[in-house]
Amino acid sequence: MLARSASMQDRVAMYNANALKIGIFGANCSSGRSATKVPERWTATWPDCLRLARMADEAGIDFMLPIGRWKGYGGDTNFHGTTLETVTWAVGLLGATQRITVFGTVHAPLFHPLIAAKEFVTADHIGEGRFGINLVVGWNEGEFEMFGVTQREHDVRYDYAQEWLDAIKRAWTEPNAFDFDGRFVKLRNVQASPKPYGDTRPIIMNAGSSPAGQAFALRNCDAFFVATAGSRTSLEGNARKVAEIKLAATNLGREIEVYTVGQVICRPTQQAAEDYYRHAIIENADWGAIDGMLAIKNITPQTLPAEEYAVKRQYFAANAIGGYPFVGTPDRVAEELHGLSKAGVRGIALSFVNYLDELPYFCDEVLPRLARLGARAAH
């Protein structure tokens, strides 16, 4: 392990000087972020995740971000039908790496706050300050039914998450036993030791898109994921979005970093990249799984006119299930990622159809170009 101070500044910077943080998104789930039927799609086995983490660590990738998923979406592949639980996954990867930050993605309503606090501290000590938390409140009713948990009304979910996080932060910081008497969370004579590594805390991220979710992120988080920041077409639009979020945080007396998500298909020629994108993402899309995901959001042929549903269905598949597709040569992908950095986006979590097959080319060709553009430090 590398010696580190684990100050909050170090944690938020992920212990390096890269202006644009590059992460790997969704590798704990079968098919990753690509609802495709191609045979080379990601399987999310533990040996492959371990190889991927070590490869990413050596190449200078900044972080790994898993998806909190408990149930597949059906279709021919049962998209996300095989998943690894995220905190234990992070612990295994942290123990096998030296530099990379690894997140756990945690549904607050499904984890008792004191158990979560202890799990997070344990992971944080194993990683010597490299563990992060992606806090989610949940949206998939079918998953909550598995646990016998009734999902709260939308905005109340964030009221609960606030108490849940407040209780965890007290467990991390209170030197003496304490009681917690909230509306939802009631704890008595709480004692918790050790505290997080380096007497700070893990970095916290959230991707709430509703007004209540955004307000929660601004109050509590170090990193805010904004899916709409993935557009490569408008530097000005992205810069405005980033500025709005940062100003809102400043008005609360806080600082926050803006992140986004995307999918990369990078090949030596533009034609080769576009051909594979069309082959894997469109022509071999798992439409049954895509329909299943849309149905959970109440987007179905029964709730929308046929033409509108077809447009939404195609858009959902073509945009990597909410992550903008960066498709092209190393020069083009690097330029587009650099554009996000120039707009003030602090980082991006990327997915690939097959991470192990495609990450080496991305690291060999795109990362050095980003360094030459000034978005990354030379590795």
Instruction: Please enumerate in sequence order all residues whose Cβ is within 8 A of that of 12, keeping only pairs 6 or more positions apart, or say none.
Output: 203, 222, 223, 257
Q: pLDDT tens digit string along 150-206?
A: 788 888 999 999 999 999 999 999 999 999 999 999 999 999 999 999 989 999 999
Report DSSP letters for 184-204, one per residue.
Answer: S-EEEEE---SPSGGGS--EE
Report for 68-72, 232-236, 278-282: range of highest mean pLDDT:
278-282
257 vs 109: which has the higher pLDDT: 257
Q: Which residue has the tokens 């080319």?
A: 361
Find how far residue 105's CA is from the centre of its chain.
8
Pick the closest to residue 6 from 131, 138, 94, 152 (CA basis): 131
**Cis preceding linkage at 268, omega within 30:** no
Find out whether 218 and 252 touch, Cβ atoms under 8 Å: yes
pLDDT of residue 322: 62
As a whole number of angstroms, the distance between CA 13 and CA 20 comes to 10
Q: At what angle do helices 154-173 and 211-220 cross, to 10 degrees?
A: 10
Strands 178-181 and 186-190: antiparallel
Find out whether 170 and 98 touch, Cβ atoms under 8 Å: no
Report DSSP letters for 332-362, one per residue.
Answer: HHHHHHHHHHHTT--EEEEE-SSHHHHHHHI
Residue 375 one-letter amino acid: A
pTM: 0.94
Find out whether 243 and 263 touch, Cβ atoms under 8 Å: no
As a whole number of angstroms, the distance between CA 367 and CA 369 comes to 5
Sign of CA dihedral 107, 113, 115, 121: positive
Residue 178 one-letter amino acid: F
Given a cut of 60, is residue 3 above it in pLDDT?
Answer: no
Q: pLDDT tens digit string along 310-319?
A: 888 888 888 7
CA dist 216 → 105, 152, 207 (Å): 16, 16, 10
Strands 101-107 and 324-328: unpaired
As a whole number of angstroms, the distance between CA 90 and CA 104 comes to 6
pLDDT of residue 230: 44
Q: Which residue has the tokens 């016998």?
A: 148
Q: pLDDT tens digit string along 222-256?
A: 999 986 544 455 678 889 999 999 999 999 999 99
pLDDT of residue 41: 97
Q: pLDDT tens digit string along 7-42?
A: 999 999 999 999 999 999 999 999 999 999 999 999
Residue 329 one-letter amino acid: T
Pick the closest to residue 118 from 69, 167, 162 (CA basis): 167
Report DSSP letters for 120-131, one per residue.
Answer: HHHHHHHTTS-E
Sign of CA dihedral 43, 47, 49, 53: negative
Pick the closest to residue 51 from 13, 106, 97, 105 (CA basis): 97
pLDDT of residue 228: 53
Q: Where are the beta strands (DSSP E) in the chain?
A: 21-25, 63-65, 101-107, 131-136, 178-181, 186-190, 203-206, 223-225, 257-266, 324-328, 347-351
Q: How many CA atoms lie within 13 A of 224 on its CB side?
A: 29
Residue 210 one-letter amino acid: S
Q: Where are the beta strands (DSSP E) in 3-94?
A: 21-25, 63-65
Kindly report the CA angle at 35 between 31 and 38, in degrees rounded to 5?
A: 75
CA dist 73 → 31, 80, 263 (Å): 11, 6, 20
